[in-house]
Amino acid sequence: MSERIVVLEISGLEALHLAGIVGQFRDLLADSRADDDPAVARLLPDAYPDDEAASREFRRLTGGDLLERRAQDAAVLLQTLGLDGGDRSAEDDPDATITIALGETEALAWMRTLSALRLVLATRLGIRTEDDHHPDDPRFGVYDWIGYRLDGLMTALDRR
């Protein structure tokens, strides 16, 4: 494991929620394709906006690897959460605070995955502009919470 560079503190309940969402994200990566799911398509944007053939070729060459790295990042996040099937302490005590120490590789996996979760949620929520935000809709609560956690991680990483 690489030298730890950042320490996160989250509640057991948050850890469980996050693990659930990341689990769904992994299922999405495994089961869906960019052609039939706009959320997956958002993870594989057109590299050549004015050239459909070149975009398709770019996606053909890079898309598989990209989704594989997404799945690896998600696996790292679950592993560092301690909720990948091994340690179940968060389930035993949802109020407990879990301390998660991340090395550079793990921190990268966390930030990429949290941002990807927001992209997927944003696609599902139909967020197209910065004004598409409805605080009364509980689904935006999850979106905002992941953003809050990602921003906190960025602050911690930038402080180093």
Q: Which residues bind other proteins (CB under 8 A)?
A: 43-50, 58, 62, 66, 69, 111-112, 115-116, 118-119, 122, 127-130, 132, 147, 150-151, 154-155, 157-158
Strand partners, 7: 101
Distance in angstroms (rounded) separating the CA atoms of residues 60 and 44: 10
Determine the 3-state secondary structure of 11 from DSSP. strand
**Closest separation in Å from C-beta 98 to other proteins:** 23
Residue placing its CB nearer to other proteins in the complex, 37 or 82: 37
Token readout for 82 is 């301690």
Q: What is the dihedral of CA 79, 83, 87, 88, to 10 degrees?
A: 170
**Closest separation in Å from C-beta 34 to other proteins:** 12
Distance in angstroms (rounded) separating the CA atoms of residues 42 and 20: 21
**Closest separation in Å from C-beta 11 to other proteins:** 22
Residue placing its CB nearer to other proteins in the complex, 130 or 136: 130
Residue placing its CB nearer to other proteins in the complex, 4 or 124: 124
